[in-house]
Amino acid sequence: MADPTGEYTFKNTGVVVSKTADGQVQQLMSYEGAATGFPVVLGSLIMTTTLSEAAANSGSCSWVGRGVLDDGTLAAGFGEGTWERIGNELRGNVSLVHEVSTGQKIRTEGVMDFEARTFNGKMYDIE
């Protein structure tokens, strides 16, 4: 695995759990913080699953966010990936591949901690 090119540190600012139009359970966790190259980040980690699989310890997830770049310009991005609960802890490993409006592609590997209400990790450039 390549060396990290940055890191991110986010604090959870809220959670919304809802039912989608097609009857799935959706959990949207809002975060704010900073990342290398992005001194301000606002975003949401989204997990959607069927009701029968809502107790699963892993699954797919997505990210949508807005940020301020080091030069003061604005950017947005989408990410797709997976999450997996760490044993019986209230934490999960999250792996995402992001496409940023600047043309940048980034892979992130981090830990979402429900109890501490944080989401922190490392960033890797995708060539």
Q: What is the pLDDT of residues 14-55, one digit of tens each?
A: 999 999 999 999 999 999 999 999 999 999 999 999 999 988
Q: Decide if 112 is inside a domain.
A: yes
pTM for the model stands at: 0.94
What is the enclosing helix (H) or strand (E) of 40? strand 38-49
Q: Does residue 107 surpass a pLDDT of 70?
A: yes
Residue 95, domain member (yes or no): yes
CA–CA dist 123, 2 (Å, integer): 10
pLDDT tops 90 at residue 127: no
CATH classification at residue 46: 2.40.350
Residues 40 and 88: their CA atoms lie apart, in Å, by: 32
Contact, 77 vs 44, CB < 8 A?
A: no
Classify residue 1: in a domain, yes or no. Answer: no
Q: Which domain holds residue 42?
A: 6-125
Q: Is residue 91 part of a domain?
A: yes
What are the φ and ψ backbone dihedral angles of 37, each rounded to 5 degrees? 85, -10
Query: Which uninterrupted H or E stretch holds 5?
Result: none
Counted domains in the chain? 1
